[in-house]
Structure 1
Amino acid sequence: MWNYEKRLQHPVNIKEPNAKLAQIIMSQYGGPDSSNLWYIKILFFLIFSPFLAFLKFGLW
């Protein structure tokens, strides 16, 4: 049915994982449920919602 392959846009090579650095980076974003990421999601939705509606309802 669906074959989902999780890939990144650019190749990432992590030679040594650093949990402390990852924790610092996530704390700068405010954690997993942060308001910063919420604003980015809302901004994305507001920019692309007319285009998504166009695709969903097939108005062409």
Structure 2
Amino acid sequence: MEKLTFEFTGAEMAVINEGLMQVPYGKAAPVVNGINAQIQAAFNKRKDEEAPSGATPPPDEGRGD
């Protein structure tokens, strides 16, 4: 499958999310999960880039074992 890259504002993502909520769960869930995974990956990358070089992030106490 060919992959495409887009950029959306938060407001645009809200409209996309609203539209996906109108689609049956079985069709929308994989798309929503994929979008959420990309959002999380972008957040993690940005957080890593903001950390000082060589810094180890503190453990996530909410993560569990």
Which TM-score bucket, shorter chain as reference?
0.3 to 0.5
TM-score by length of 1: 0.32
Flag the structure with larger Rg: 1
Determine which structure has greater relative contact order: mean sequence separation of CA pairs < 8 Å that are 6+ residues apart, divided by chain length.
2
TM-score by length of 2: 0.31
